[in-house]
Structure 1
Amino acid sequence: MNDTPHRMDIHIVDDDADVRDGLAWLFDSRGWQTRAWASGTALIDALRPLQGQSWGAAVVLLDMRMEPLSGPMTFEQLKALGCPWPVLFLTGHGDVGSAVEAVKNGAWDFLEKPFQDNMLVDRVEQAMRAVRAQTEAEREAQRLRQALASLSPREREVLDELIRGHYNKNIAEHLGITARTVEFHRANIFEKMGVESAIELAHKLGRLTPMGGGR
């Protein structure tokens, strides 16, 4: 019934229809959008077209014991696709050890059945906040890289001087241009990069890897 992934969802993956329906009702009643999948294979097949694209924000609730593709095997395939979504395992007592290993391998967390509804909702909200923050950071990094690419060769030279802490007069001497020309380029750089000071510029560029978009 849910054959296409949504970009702002909770994906419920469980081979037990009653569990899927119960979890979907829980999150739907809290205002979340959900997608339910009867197997890990169904989820992976639906997400495959997103490989190499923007994933948006979502959280995956993944049962440990499923056939034919187990929860841990599904998780490994999600990682292979490059899926950035937090994965929260739902596990029985006998599978706690496997769930701990999954967390060590990059899963967000796990909850042992039976769990309280409020606890599950709280964990999912924490995971969603984290993935949204990561998405915002990625968007800002992409914006900065595009802004860097839009700089002229001379603006790029002035930028390199600015982030080294050099003053306009020194930059003018180093580049063989007038201080007024430096001021002109500096204003253009700040506007394109969306900053108000050289310190702010340096801080933002410091978050990019490699700094300066591959220089």
Structure 2
Amino acid sequence: MTAADPARDAEVPLIRIVDDDPNLRDALLFMLSQEGWQAVAFPDGESFLRSEAPSAPGVLILDVRMPGMSGIELHRELRRRGFEQPVIFLTAHGDIDMAVEELRRGAFHFLQKPLDPEKLLSAVAQAVELDKRRRLGMPPVEEIRARIAALRPREREVMSLLAEGRLNADIADRLGLSIRTVEAHRASAYVKLRVKNAAEAAALWAAAQTDEDGGLG
């Protein structure tokens, strides 16, 4: 039933599937494993909660309707316990309203059955990236972009080159500035971006560039 042991390396994302349909569970496990994801499946919410999987980093794929504990009830129980991993709901047509309500309560996405494999794999990749940023203490991409938008044009140019790994002297030469001016722009940008060093700034820049909505150009 499982394609991975949830007791493995805690830093490797684990895709958890909770669905009472064994054929769908097997199909999802196969599809995810073919794409290189580690995945594990459970037939119901109760068995999932008894496992070590709830606290693992990664993503949870939940069927909205299941015998016993529903996906909605499981999602709310996980939030009550403080688990913040992204949740993707699988819904039949009649469950859309419930899924939308769970989006308001913090779920990441919902997908209608029958599933579109490309949409599912895309949602999983985006959710894994979101979980990674959360664990690293990074803010949502909307906030990251708002911080970057607050930079003056020259600060933006400096930070863009800094994110490429360039040193102050190289940045100064490329932009026709003095090193002291580059340092001043860099210090001002750090304050607006709320970062302490070049590594943190580069991580924010990369998160904004690679998000699904398209990046900063």
Q: Same fold (TM over 0.5)?
A: yes
Tell me the equivalent position of 2:45. 40
Tell me the equivalent position of 1:147. none
Q: Give, in angstroms, the shift of residue 43 of structure 1.
A: 1.1
With normalisation by structure 2, the TM-score equals 0.59
In the alignment, is the contact (CA less than 8 A) between 2:63 and 2:71 conserved in 1?
yes
Residue 68 of structure 1 aligns to a residue whose secondary structure is coil
Residue 107 of structure 2 aligns to a residue whose secondary structure is coil
Work out the CA distance in 2 between the residues paired with 1:91 and 1:49: 21
In the alignment, is the contact (CA less than 8 A) between 2:6 and 2:14 conserved in 1?
no
In the alignment, is the contact (CA less than 8 A) between 1:5 and 1:35 conserved in 2?
no
Work out the CA distance in 2 between the residues paired with 1:108 and 1:35: 19
After TM superposition, list the pairs within 5 Å mapping 1:63-212 onto structure 2.
Answer: 63-137=63-137, 200=190, 203-204=194-195
CA RMSD of aligned residues (A): 2.6
With normalisation by structure 1, the TM-score equals 0.60
Indicate whether 1:9 and 2:8 are aligned. no
Q: Give, in angstroms, the shift of residue 204 of structure 1.
A: 3.7
The 1:93–1:5 alpha-carbon spacing in structure 2 relative to 1, beyond 3 Å, is: farther
The 1:32–1:198 alpha-carbon spacing in structure 2 relative to 1, beyond 3 Å, is: same
C-alpha offsets along residues 151-184 of structure 1, whole Å, 9 cap, x if unaligned? xxxxxxxxxxxxxxxxxxxxxxxxxxxxxxxxxx
C-alpha offsets along residues 117-173 of structure 1, whole Å, 9 cap, x if unaligned? 0110001101111111111226xxxxxxxxxxxxxxxxxxxxxxxxxxxxxxxxxxx
Which consecutive residues of structure 1, in runs of 5 or more, have no partner in the other structure?
139-195, 206-215
Indicate whether 1:18 and 2:37 are aligned. no
Work out the CA distance in 2 between the residues paired with 1:30 and 1:85: 20
The 1:199–1:29 alpha-carbon spacing in structure 2 relative to 1, beyond 3 Å, is: closer
Work out the CA distance in 1 between the residues paired with 2:53 and 2:26: 24
Tell me the equivalent position of 2:199. none
In the alignment, is the contact (CA less than 8 A) between 1:87 and 1:109 conserved in 2?
yes
Aligned positions, number: 144
The 1:199–1:85 alpha-carbon spacing in structure 2 relative to 1, beyond 3 Å, is: same
In our comparison, the structure showing a higher alpha carbon Rg is 1
Task: Tell me which amino acid in the other structure corresponds to 2:105.
Answer: N
Work out the CA distance in 1 between the residues paired with 2:81 and 2:62: 16
Q: Give, in angstroms, the shift of residue 200 of structure 1.
A: 4.3
Percentage of pairs with the same residue:
33
The 1:33–1:137 alpha-carbon spacing in structure 2 relative to 1, beyond 3 Å, is: same
Work out the CA distance in 2 between the residues paired with 1:95 and 1:86: 19
Work out the CA distance in 1 between the residues paired with 2:119 and 2:54: 33
Tell me the equivalent position of 2:35. 30
Which consecutive residues of structure 2, in runs of 5 or more, have no partner in the other structure?
139-185, 197-217
Q: Give, in angstroms, the shift of residue 49 of structure 1.
A: 8.4
